[in-house]
Structure 1
Protein backbone atom coordinates (compact mmCIF):
# COMPACT_ATOMS: atom_id res chain seq x y z
CA UNK A 1 0.00 0.00 0.00
CA UNK A 2 2.84 2.40 0.88
CA UNK A 3 4.45 1.73 -2.50
CA UNK A 4 1.15 2.40 -4.27
CA UNK A 5 0.67 5.70 -2.45
CA UNK A 6 4.23 6.64 -3.33
CA UNK A 7 3.58 5.93 -6.98
CA UNK A 8 0.54 8.22 -6.94
CA UNK A 9 2.21 11.04 -4.99
CA UNK A 10 2.91 13.81 -7.45
CA UNK A 11 2.82 17.56 -7.67
CA UNK A 12 4.66 20.44 -6.06
CA UNK A 13 6.19 20.33 -2.57
CA UNK A 14 7.92 23.36 -1.05
CA UNK A 15 9.73 22.73 2.24
CA UNK A 16 11.57 25.20 4.50
CA UNK A 17 14.38 23.99 6.76
CA UNK A 18 16.82 25.78 9.09
CA UNK A 19 20.50 25.80 8.05
CA UNK A 20 21.49 23.99 11.26
CA UNK A 21 19.55 20.91 10.08
CA UNK A 22 21.53 20.47 6.87
CA UNK A 23 23.99 17.76 7.92
CA UNK A 24 21.78 15.57 10.10
CA UNK A 25 18.48 15.94 8.27
CA UNK A 26 18.14 17.86 5.02
CA UNK A 27 20.43 15.85 2.76
CA UNK A 28 18.92 12.56 4.00
CA UNK A 29 15.38 13.82 3.55
CA UNK A 30 15.99 15.03 -0.01
CA UNK A 31 17.73 11.79 -0.97
CA UNK A 32 14.89 9.63 0.35
CA UNK A 33 12.16 11.77 -1.20
CA UNK A 34 13.78 11.72 -4.64
CA UNK A 35 14.24 7.96 -4.41
CA UNK A 36 10.71 7.14 -3.21
CA UNK A 37 8.62 9.81 -4.94
CA UNK A 38 10.19 10.69 -8.29
CA UNK A 39 6.99 12.41 -9.43
CA UNK A 40 7.14 15.05 -6.70
CA UNK A 41 8.69 18.35 -7.76
CA UNK A 42 10.59 19.37 -4.63
CA UNK A 43 11.72 22.87 -3.69
CA UNK A 44 13.88 23.23 -0.56
CA UNK A 45 14.22 26.67 0.97
CA UNK A 46 16.89 27.07 3.67
CA UNK A 47 16.69 30.06 6.00
CA UNK A 48 16.82 31.29 9.59
CA UNK A 49 13.73 30.63 11.65
CA UNK A 50 12.00 34.03 11.48
CA UNK A 51 12.46 34.19 7.70
CA UNK A 52 11.04 30.68 7.27
CA UNK A 53 8.05 31.61 9.42
CA UNK A 54 7.42 34.75 7.36
CA UNK A 55 7.66 32.78 4.11
CA UNK A 56 5.36 30.11 5.51
CA UNK A 57 2.70 32.60 6.56
CA UNK A 58 2.99 34.32 3.19
CA UNK A 59 1.95 31.05 1.54
CA UNK A 60 5.32 30.39 -0.08
CA UNK A 61 5.94 27.10 1.75
CA UNK A 62 3.84 23.98 2.21
CA UNK A 63 5.83 22.68 5.18
CA UNK A 64 8.48 24.29 7.34
CA UNK A 65 10.60 23.22 10.31
CA UNK A 66 10.53 26.16 12.72
CA UNK A 67 10.69 26.75 16.48
CA UNK A 68 7.43 25.66 18.11
CA UNK A 69 4.79 28.30 18.79
CA UNK A 70 1.66 27.43 20.78
CA UNK A 71 -0.69 29.76 18.90
CA UNK A 72 -0.59 29.30 15.14
CA UNK A 73 -2.19 31.79 12.74
CA UNK A 74 -5.40 30.64 11.08
CA UNK A 75 -4.68 28.24 8.26
CA UNK A 76 -1.50 26.78 9.80
CA UNK A 77 -0.84 23.99 12.27
CA UNK A 78 2.28 23.30 14.33
CA UNK A 79 3.19 19.81 15.54
CA UNK A 80 6.18 19.55 17.86
CA UNK A 81 8.83 17.23 16.40
CA UNK A 82 11.91 17.22 18.58
CA UNK A 83 13.57 19.06 21.46
CA UNK A 84 17.33 19.52 21.51
CA UNK A 85 19.95 21.43 23.55
CA UNK A 86 21.38 24.78 22.61
CA UNK A 87 25.16 24.59 22.62
CA UNK A 88 28.01 27.03 23.08
CA UNK A 89 30.58 26.78 20.29
CA UNK A 90 34.10 28.15 20.62
CA UNK A 91 37.62 27.65 19.26
CA UNK A 92 39.40 24.35 19.78
CA UNK A 93 41.56 25.57 22.69
CA UNK A 94 38.46 26.53 24.71
CA UNK A 95 38.23 22.82 25.58
CA UNK A 96 34.46 22.65 25.73
CA UNK A 97 33.20 19.06 25.70
CA UNK A 98 29.90 17.66 24.38
CA UNK A 99 29.52 15.37 27.39
CA UNK A 100 29.86 18.23 29.91
CA UNK A 101 27.33 21.06 29.99
CA UNK A 102 28.24 24.61 30.95
CA UNK A 103 26.13 27.07 32.99
CA UNK A 104 24.48 30.08 31.42
CA UNK A 105 26.95 32.20 33.40
CA UNK A 106 29.65 31.04 30.96
CA UNK A 107 28.07 33.41 28.40
CA UNK A 108 28.28 36.48 30.68
CA UNK A 109 29.76 39.31 28.55
CA UNK A 110 31.14 36.71 26.11
CA UNK A 111 31.69 38.11 22.61
CA UNK A 112 29.03 36.35 20.54
CA UNK A 113 28.08 36.03 16.88
CA UNK A 114 24.32 35.46 16.73
CA UNK A 115 21.53 36.20 14.25
CA UNK A 116 19.79 39.55 14.36
CA UNK A 117 16.34 40.05 15.87
CA UNK A 118 13.70 38.63 15.83
CA UNK A 119 15.56 35.30 15.69
CA UNK A 120 14.25 32.89 18.36
CA UNK A 121 17.64 31.68 19.58
CA UNK A 122 19.02 35.23 19.76
CA UNK A 123 15.98 36.35 21.80
CA UNK A 124 16.15 33.29 24.06
CA UNK A 125 19.83 33.85 24.89
CA UNK A 126 19.51 37.61 25.34
CA UNK A 127 16.42 37.35 27.57
CA UNK A 128 17.84 34.50 29.65
CA UNK A 129 21.05 36.42 30.34
CA UNK A 130 19.09 39.54 31.28
CA UNK A 131 16.88 37.64 33.74
CA UNK A 132 19.98 36.32 35.51
CA UNK A 133 21.64 39.72 35.57
CA UNK A 134 24.37 38.71 33.13
CA UNK A 135 25.71 40.85 30.30
CA UNK A 136 24.80 40.16 26.66
CA UNK A 137 27.44 41.09 24.08
CA UNK A 138 26.44 40.33 20.50
CA UNK A 139 29.61 41.41 18.73
CA UNK A 140 28.40 40.35 15.26
CA UNK A 141 24.91 39.86 13.85
CA UNK A 142 25.31 36.83 11.59
CA UNK A 143 22.31 35.18 9.91
CA UNK A 144 24.49 32.35 8.59
CA UNK A 145 25.31 29.29 10.70
CA UNK A 146 28.49 28.32 8.86
CA UNK A 147 29.89 31.84 9.11
CA UNK A 148 29.21 32.11 12.85
CA UNK A 149 30.82 28.68 13.31
CA UNK A 150 33.85 29.75 11.31
CA UNK A 151 34.22 32.90 13.41
CA UNK A 152 34.17 30.67 16.49
CA UNK A 153 36.75 28.35 14.94
CA UNK A 154 39.08 31.30 14.36
CA UNK A 155 38.59 32.59 17.91
CA UNK A 156 37.04 35.86 16.73
CA UNK A 157 33.82 35.24 18.65
CA UNK A 158 31.76 32.44 20.15
CA UNK A 159 28.30 31.40 19.04
CA UNK A 160 25.22 29.55 20.26
CA UNK A 161 23.55 27.08 17.94
CA UNK A 162 21.18 24.11 18.06
CA UNK A 163 23.06 20.91 18.79
CA UNK A 164 22.20 19.48 15.36
CA UNK A 165 24.57 21.96 13.72
CA UNK A 166 27.62 20.30 15.28
CA UNK A 167 26.57 16.86 16.57
CA UNK A 168 28.38 14.25 14.49
CA UNK A 169 29.19 16.83 11.81
CA UNK A 170 32.67 16.10 10.38
CA UNK A 171 32.94 19.67 9.11
CA UNK A 172 33.25 20.96 12.67
CA UNK A 173 34.03 18.11 15.06
CA UNK A 174 37.81 18.49 14.75
CA UNK A 175 37.98 22.27 14.39
CA UNK A 176 35.79 23.68 17.18
CA UNK A 177 34.89 22.76 20.74
CA UNK A 178 31.35 22.85 22.09
CA UNK A 179 29.20 22.09 25.13
CA UNK A 180 25.45 22.10 25.85
CA UNK A 181 24.27 25.12 27.84
CA UNK A 182 22.61 23.86 31.01
CA UNK A 183 18.82 24.21 30.90
CA UNK A 184 18.73 25.78 27.42
CA UNK A 185 16.72 23.97 24.76
CA UNK A 186 14.84 24.59 21.55
CA UNK A 187 11.73 22.70 20.44
CA UNK A 188 11.31 22.32 16.70
CA UNK A 189 7.91 21.92 15.09
CA UNK A 190 6.62 20.97 11.67
CA UNK A 191 4.43 23.85 10.48
CA UNK A 192 1.93 23.02 7.75
CA UNK A 193 -0.14 25.19 5.46
CA UNK A 194 -3.58 23.55 5.84
CA UNK A 195 -4.69 24.91 2.46
CA UNK A 196 -2.22 22.44 0.95
CA UNK A 197 -2.89 19.46 3.24
CA UNK A 198 -5.04 17.77 0.60
CA UNK A 199 -2.04 17.40 -1.72
CA UNK A 200 -0.56 13.87 -1.90
CA UNK A 201 2.88 15.47 -2.28
CA UNK A 202 2.44 17.43 0.96
CA UNK A 203 1.09 14.37 2.77
CA UNK A 204 4.02 12.22 1.75
CA UNK A 205 6.45 15.03 2.53
CA UNK A 206 5.00 15.37 6.02
CA UNK A 207 5.23 11.65 6.65
CA UNK A 208 8.80 11.42 5.39
CA UNK A 209 9.97 14.39 7.49
CA UNK A 210 8.72 12.78 10.70
CA UNK A 211 10.22 9.44 9.68
CA UNK A 212 13.68 10.84 8.92
CA UNK A 213 13.73 12.91 12.14
CA UNK A 214 12.84 9.80 14.14
CA UNK A 215 15.52 7.73 12.41
CA UNK A 216 18.24 10.31 13.12
CA UNK A 217 17.28 10.74 16.78
CA UNK A 218 17.02 7.00 17.38
CA UNK A 219 20.43 6.43 15.78
CA UNK A 220 22.03 8.40 18.63
CA UNK A 221 23.84 10.75 16.24
CA UNK A 222 21.79 13.75 17.40
CA UNK A 223 23.08 14.23 20.95
CA UNK A 224 20.51 15.26 23.55
CA UNK A 225 17.55 15.20 21.15
CA UNK A 226 14.15 13.91 22.31
CA UNK A 227 11.25 13.08 20.01
CA UNK A 228 7.69 14.23 20.67
CA UNK A 229 5.01 11.56 20.41
CA UNK A 230 1.53 12.16 19.03
CA UNK A 231 0.22 12.19 22.64
CA UNK A 232 2.77 14.84 23.63
CA UNK A 233 1.75 17.02 20.67
CA UNK A 234 -1.71 17.38 22.18
CA UNK A 235 -0.27 18.34 25.56
CA UNK A 236 2.24 20.96 24.33
Structure 2
Protein backbone atom coordinates (compact mmCIF):
# COMPACT_ATOMS: atom_id res chain seq x y z
CA UNK A 1 0.00 0.00 0.00
CA UNK A 2 1.45 3.32 -1.11
CA UNK A 3 0.69 6.79 0.21
CA UNK A 4 -0.31 7.89 -3.27
CA UNK A 5 -2.89 5.11 -3.53
CA UNK A 6 -4.44 6.10 -0.20
CA UNK A 7 -4.57 9.74 -1.30
CA UNK A 8 -6.41 8.69 -4.47
CA UNK A 9 -8.80 6.56 -2.44
CA UNK A 10 -9.64 9.52 -0.17
CA UNK A 11 -10.15 11.79 -3.17
CA UNK A 12 -12.76 9.34 -4.50
CA UNK A 13 -14.44 9.38 -1.10
CA UNK A 14 -14.59 13.19 -1.17
CA UNK A 15 -16.11 13.36 -4.64
CA UNK A 16 -18.31 10.26 -4.36
CA UNK A 17 -17.39 9.41 -7.92
CA UNK A 18 -14.40 7.86 -9.65
CA UNK A 19 -14.96 10.03 -12.74
CA UNK A 20 -15.04 13.28 -10.72
CA UNK A 21 -12.01 12.22 -8.69
CA UNK A 22 -10.08 11.37 -11.87
CA UNK A 23 -10.86 14.81 -13.30
CA UNK A 24 -9.70 16.50 -10.08
CA UNK A 25 -6.51 14.45 -10.12
CA UNK A 26 -6.02 15.17 -13.85
CA UNK A 27 -5.82 11.52 -14.79
CA UNK A 28 -8.00 9.18 -16.80
CA UNK A 29 -10.82 7.21 -15.18
CA UNK A 30 -9.36 3.81 -16.28
CA UNK A 31 -5.96 4.74 -14.82
CA UNK A 32 -7.49 5.73 -11.47
CA UNK A 33 -9.55 2.54 -11.43
CA UNK A 34 -6.40 0.47 -11.96
CA UNK A 35 -4.69 2.19 -9.00
CA UNK A 36 -7.67 1.45 -6.77
CA UNK A 37 -7.80 -2.16 -7.99
CA UNK A 38 -4.14 -2.56 -7.02
CA UNK A 39 -4.91 -1.12 -3.58
CA UNK A 40 -7.82 -3.52 -3.10
CA UNK A 41 -5.66 -6.44 -4.21
CA UNK A 42 -2.91 -5.38 -1.79
CA UNK A 43 -5.39 -5.11 1.12
CA UNK A 44 -7.23 -8.27 0.10
CA UNK A 45 -10.68 -6.68 0.27
CA UNK A 46 -13.15 -4.61 -1.73
CA UNK A 47 -13.27 -0.92 -0.78
CA UNK A 48 -16.11 0.38 -3.02
CA UNK A 49 -19.42 -0.79 -4.33
CA UNK A 50 -20.34 0.95 -7.57
CA UNK A 51 -23.97 2.08 -7.89
CA UNK A 52 -25.93 4.22 -10.34
CA UNK A 53 -25.55 7.16 -7.97
CA UNK A 54 -21.76 6.76 -7.75
CA UNK A 55 -19.78 4.74 -5.25
CA UNK A 56 -20.55 3.44 -1.78
CA UNK A 57 -17.91 2.46 0.74
CA UNK A 58 -17.84 -1.10 2.01
CA UNK A 59 -17.27 -1.65 5.73
CA UNK A 60 -13.55 -2.18 5.01
CA UNK A 61 -13.49 0.97 2.90
CA UNK A 62 -15.07 2.98 5.72
CA UNK A 63 -12.41 1.74 8.17
CA UNK A 64 -9.65 2.78 5.76
CA UNK A 65 -11.22 6.20 5.19
CA UNK A 66 -11.59 6.86 8.90
CA UNK A 67 -8.11 5.77 9.85
CA UNK A 68 -6.18 6.97 6.81
CA UNK A 69 -7.00 10.69 7.15
CA UNK A 70 -5.16 11.29 10.46
CA UNK A 71 -2.26 9.10 9.32
CA UNK A 72 -1.90 11.09 6.11
CA UNK A 73 -2.08 14.33 8.08
CA UNK A 74 0.81 13.18 10.26
CA UNK A 75 2.72 12.19 7.15
CA UNK A 76 2.14 15.65 5.66
CA UNK A 77 3.41 17.29 8.84
CA UNK A 78 6.46 15.04 8.82
CA UNK A 79 7.11 15.83 5.17
CA UNK A 80 6.85 19.56 5.88
CA UNK A 81 9.22 19.32 8.84
CA UNK A 82 11.79 17.36 6.86
CA UNK A 83 11.38 19.64 3.85
CA UNK A 84 11.83 22.78 5.92
CA UNK A 85 14.92 21.34 7.56
CA UNK A 86 16.39 20.40 4.18
CA UNK A 87 15.79 23.95 3.01
CA UNK A 88 17.78 25.27 5.98
CA UNK A 89 20.43 22.55 6.21
CA UNK A 90 23.59 23.05 4.17
CA UNK A 91 26.56 20.67 4.12
CA UNK A 92 29.82 22.47 3.39
CA UNK A 93 33.36 21.09 3.04
CA UNK A 94 36.53 23.17 3.33
CA UNK A 95 40.16 21.96 3.29
CA UNK A 96 41.86 21.60 6.68
CA UNK A 97 44.47 24.16 5.65
CA UNK A 98 41.83 26.90 5.74
CA UNK A 99 40.54 26.24 9.26
CA UNK A 100 42.02 29.29 10.99
CA UNK A 101 41.75 31.79 8.16
CA UNK A 102 38.40 30.80 6.66
CA UNK A 103 36.43 27.95 8.25
CA UNK A 104 36.37 29.04 11.90
CA UNK A 105 35.79 32.78 11.33
CA UNK A 106 33.18 32.09 8.65
CA UNK A 107 31.31 29.64 10.91
CA UNK A 108 31.40 32.26 13.66
CA UNK A 109 29.93 34.82 11.27
CA UNK A 110 27.11 32.48 10.20
CA UNK A 111 26.26 31.70 13.83
CA UNK A 112 26.04 35.38 14.69
CA UNK A 113 24.34 36.68 11.55
CA UNK A 114 22.27 33.75 10.27
CA UNK A 115 21.38 31.52 13.25
CA UNK A 116 18.44 30.06 11.33
CA UNK A 117 20.85 28.42 8.87
CA UNK A 118 21.80 24.85 9.80
CA UNK A 119 25.35 24.46 8.51
CA UNK A 120 27.27 21.19 8.81
CA UNK A 121 30.97 21.64 8.09
CA UNK A 122 33.28 18.88 6.91
CA UNK A 123 37.06 19.33 6.99
CA UNK A 124 39.63 17.16 5.26
CA UNK A 125 42.30 16.92 2.62
CA UNK A 126 41.27 17.52 -0.98
CA UNK A 127 40.84 13.92 -2.10
CA UNK A 128 38.68 13.21 0.98
CA UNK A 129 36.44 16.13 0.03
CA UNK A 130 36.11 14.72 -3.49
CA UNK A 131 35.01 11.36 -2.07
CA UNK A 132 32.39 13.09 0.09
CA UNK A 133 31.16 14.87 -3.02
CA UNK A 134 30.91 11.58 -4.91
CA UNK A 135 28.99 10.04 -2.02
CA UNK A 136 26.40 12.81 -2.13
CA UNK A 137 27.20 14.22 1.33
CA UNK A 138 27.91 17.80 0.26
CA UNK A 139 25.99 20.77 -1.08
CA UNK A 140 28.99 23.04 -1.47
CA UNK A 141 32.75 22.54 -1.26
CA UNK A 142 36.01 24.40 -1.63
CA UNK A 143 38.67 22.23 -3.25
CA UNK A 144 41.93 22.55 -5.15
CA UNK A 145 41.54 23.05 -8.90
CA UNK A 146 43.56 19.97 -9.85
CA UNK A 147 41.16 17.67 -7.98
CA UNK A 148 38.57 16.03 -10.24
CA UNK A 149 35.00 17.19 -9.64
CA UNK A 150 32.05 14.73 -9.89
CA UNK A 151 29.64 15.29 -12.77
CA UNK A 152 26.81 16.32 -10.46
CA UNK A 153 28.77 19.40 -9.33
CA UNK A 154 29.52 22.66 -11.07
CA UNK A 155 32.75 24.50 -10.27
CA UNK A 156 34.34 27.89 -10.71
CA UNK A 157 37.70 29.31 -9.60
CA UNK A 158 37.72 31.35 -6.40
CA UNK A 159 41.28 32.48 -5.80
CA UNK A 160 44.94 31.76 -6.52
CA UNK A 161 47.25 31.32 -3.53
CA UNK A 162 51.05 31.18 -3.36
CA UNK A 163 52.57 27.99 -2.00
CA UNK A 164 55.10 28.43 0.80
CA UNK A 165 58.24 26.53 1.73
CA UNK A 166 58.04 25.92 5.49
CA UNK A 167 60.92 25.01 7.78
CA UNK A 168 62.00 25.38 11.38
CA UNK A 169 63.27 28.57 12.99
CA UNK A 170 66.87 27.71 12.11
CA UNK A 171 65.97 27.54 8.40
CA UNK A 172 65.69 31.34 8.47
CA UNK A 173 62.98 31.54 5.82
CA UNK A 174 61.20 34.89 5.44
CA UNK A 175 57.86 35.93 3.94
CA UNK A 176 59.68 38.90 2.44
CA UNK A 177 62.26 36.77 0.63
CA UNK A 178 60.75 34.44 -2.00
CA UNK A 179 62.79 31.35 -2.84
CA UNK A 180 63.24 29.80 -6.31
CA UNK A 181 61.93 26.34 -7.11
CA UNK A 182 65.55 25.14 -7.22
CA UNK A 183 65.66 25.62 -3.43
CA UNK A 184 63.50 22.47 -3.14
CA UNK A 185 65.91 20.32 -5.20
CA UNK A 186 66.49 17.15 -3.12
CA UNK A 187 65.38 19.01 0.02
CA UNK A 188 63.91 16.63 2.65
CA UNK A 189 60.17 17.19 2.19
CA UNK A 190 57.39 16.16 4.56
CA UNK A 191 54.04 15.92 2.75
CA UNK A 192 51.19 13.44 2.32
CA UNK A 193 51.69 10.70 -0.24
CA UNK A 194 49.57 10.09 -3.36
CA UNK A 195 46.90 11.03 -4.24
CA UNK A 196 47.44 14.32 -2.34
CA UNK A 197 47.06 17.29 -4.70
CA UNK A 198 49.71 19.57 -3.16
CA UNK A 199 52.45 16.92 -3.02
CA UNK A 200 51.62 15.87 -6.60
CA UNK A 201 51.87 19.48 -7.76
CA UNK A 202 55.25 19.96 -6.04
CA UNK A 203 56.60 16.68 -7.44
CA UNK A 204 55.47 17.51 -10.99
CA UNK A 205 56.89 21.05 -10.85
CA UNK A 206 60.27 19.75 -9.69
CA UNK A 207 60.29 17.00 -12.32
CA UNK A 208 59.47 19.45 -15.12
CA UNK A 209 62.35 21.67 -14.01
CA UNK A 210 64.76 18.74 -13.78
CA UNK A 211 64.99 18.74 -9.98
CA UNK A 212 64.56 15.89 -7.51
CA UNK A 213 61.58 15.49 -5.20
CA UNK A 214 62.70 13.92 -1.92
CA UNK A 215 59.61 13.02 0.12
CA UNK A 216 61.35 11.74 3.27
CA UNK A 217 58.16 11.25 5.31
CA UNK A 218 54.52 10.89 4.27
CA UNK A 219 52.43 12.62 6.92
CA UNK A 220 48.76 12.51 5.98
CA UNK A 221 47.72 15.20 8.48
CA UNK A 222 48.51 18.88 7.98
CA UNK A 223 49.29 19.46 11.64
CA UNK A 224 51.84 16.62 11.65
CA UNK A 225 53.60 18.02 8.57
CA UNK A 226 53.97 21.36 10.34
CA UNK A 227 54.95 19.80 13.66
CA UNK A 228 57.76 17.75 12.10
CA UNK A 229 58.97 20.74 10.07
CA UNK A 230 59.06 22.79 13.27
CA UNK A 231 61.17 20.06 14.91
CA UNK A 232 63.74 20.36 12.13
CA UNK A 233 62.99 16.98 10.56
CA UNK A 234 62.54 18.45 7.10
CA UNK A 235 60.51 21.00 5.16
CA UNK A 236 56.92 21.04 4.08
CA UNK A 237 54.99 22.97 1.43
CA UNK A 238 51.73 24.65 2.34
CA UNK A 239 49.42 27.41 1.08
CA UNK A 240 49.70 30.54 3.19
CA UNK A 241 46.28 29.96 4.77
CA UNK A 242 47.63 26.88 6.56
CA UNK A 243 50.18 29.06 8.37
CA UNK A 244 47.75 31.52 9.93
CA UNK A 245 48.78 32.09 13.55
CA UNK A 246 51.80 29.76 13.23
CA UNK A 247 54.46 32.32 12.25
CA UNK A 248 56.15 35.03 14.28
CA UNK A 249 59.36 35.93 16.10
CA UNK A 250 58.87 33.26 18.76
CA UNK A 251 57.31 30.61 16.51
CA UNK A 252 58.96 27.29 15.70
CA UNK A 253 58.24 27.76 11.99
CA UNK A 254 59.50 30.09 9.29
CA UNK A 255 58.18 30.30 5.71
CA UNK A 256 58.93 31.84 2.33
CA UNK A 257 56.90 32.05 -0.89
CA UNK A 258 58.04 29.69 -3.65
CA UNK A 259 58.46 31.61 -6.91
CA UNK A 260 56.03 30.50 -9.61
CA UNK A 261 54.36 27.83 -7.49
CA UNK A 262 50.74 28.39 -6.50
CA UNK A 263 47.46 26.63 -5.98
CA UNK A 264 44.04 27.57 -7.36
CA UNK A 265 41.03 26.98 -5.13
CA UNK A 266 37.63 26.46 -6.73
CA UNK A 267 34.07 26.54 -5.43
CA UNK A 268 31.96 23.47 -6.21
CA UNK A 269 28.16 23.40 -5.96
CA UNK A 270 25.92 20.35 -6.07
CA UNK A 271 23.64 20.81 -9.10
CA UNK A 272 20.66 19.34 -7.26
CA UNK A 273 21.03 22.03 -4.55
CA UNK A 274 22.14 24.92 -6.73
CA UNK A 275 18.83 26.78 -6.35
CA UNK A 276 18.02 25.83 -2.76
CA UNK A 277 17.55 29.08 -0.86
CA UNK A 278 19.79 28.12 2.05
CA UNK A 279 22.60 26.89 -0.20
CA UNK A 280 22.47 29.99 -2.40
CA UNK A 281 22.56 32.16 0.69
CA UNK A 282 25.56 30.28 2.07
CA UNK A 283 27.44 30.47 -1.24
CA UNK A 284 26.87 34.23 -1.42
CA UNK A 285 28.02 34.73 2.18
CA UNK A 286 31.05 32.48 1.70
CA UNK A 287 32.29 34.20 -1.45
CA UNK A 288 31.72 37.61 0.12
CA UNK A 289 33.63 36.59 3.25
CA UNK A 290 36.56 35.22 1.21
CA UNK A 291 36.73 38.45 -0.78
CA UNK A 292 36.74 40.45 2.44
CA UNK A 293 39.53 38.34 3.94
CA UNK A 294 41.67 38.91 0.84
CA UNK A 295 40.89 42.60 0.36
CA UNK A 296 41.48 43.59 3.99
CA UNK A 297 44.90 41.93 3.98
CA UNK A 298 44.10 39.04 6.32
CA UNK A 299 44.62 36.46 3.56
CA UNK A 300 47.89 37.51 1.97
CA UNK A 301 49.81 35.97 -0.96
CA UNK A 302 46.42 35.48 -2.61
CA UNK A 303 44.51 36.98 -5.54
CA UNK A 304 40.83 36.69 -6.34
CA UNK A 305 39.45 35.61 -9.70
Query: Quick check: TM above 0.5?
Result: yes
Select 1:171's aligned residue among 246, 249, 254: 246
**Cα separation, 1, equivalents of 2:257 and 2:146:** 23
Q: Secondary structure at the match of 2:177?
A: coil
CA separation of 1:162 and 1:195: change in aligned 2, threshold 3 A:
same
The aligned counterpart of 1:234 is none
**Cα separation, 2, equivalents of 1:63 and 1:49:** 13
2:134 corresponds to 1:134: no
Q: Secondary structure at the match of 2:215?
A: strand
Q: Secondary structure at the match of 1:88?
A: strand
Asked if 2 retains the 8 angstrom alpha-carbon contact of 1:111 and 1:157, the reply is yes
CA separation of 1:162 and 1:70: change in aligned 2, threshold 3 A:
closer
Q: Secondary structure at the match of 1:156?
A: coil
The aligned counterpart of 2:228 is 151
The aligned counterpart of 2:176 is 99
Structure 1 ranges of 4+ moved more than 4 A: 69-72
**Cα separation, 2, equivalents of 1:23 and 1:79:** 23
Select 1:217's aligned residue among 260, 274, 294: 294
**Deviation per residue, 1:67-106 (Å, 9 max, x gap):** 1259754221111111010000000111111011101111
- How far 1:128 moved relative to its partner? 1.0
- How far 1:153 moved relative to its partner? 0.6
Question: With structure 1 as the length reference, what TM-score do the two structures score?
Answer: 0.88
**Which blocks of at least 5 consecutive residues in structure 1 are unaligned?**
1-8, 229-236
The aligned counterpart of 2:14 is none
Larger Rg over CA atoms: 2
Root-mean-square deviation (CA, aligned residues, Å) is 1.8
More helix by share: 2
After superposition, residues 1-236 of structure 1 pair within 5 angstroms as: 11-69=88-146, 72-166=149-243, 169-173=244-248, 174-228=251-305
**Cα separation, 1, equivalents of 2:198 and 2:147:** 17
**Deviation per residue, 1:35-86 (Å, 9 max, x gap):** 2221222111100011111211221111111012597542211111110100
Alignment length (residue pairs): 219
Question: With structure 2 as the length reference, what TM-score do the two structures score?
Answer: 0.69
Q: Secondary structure at the match of 2:127?
A: helix
**Cα separation, 1, equivalents of 2:221 and 2:247:** 15
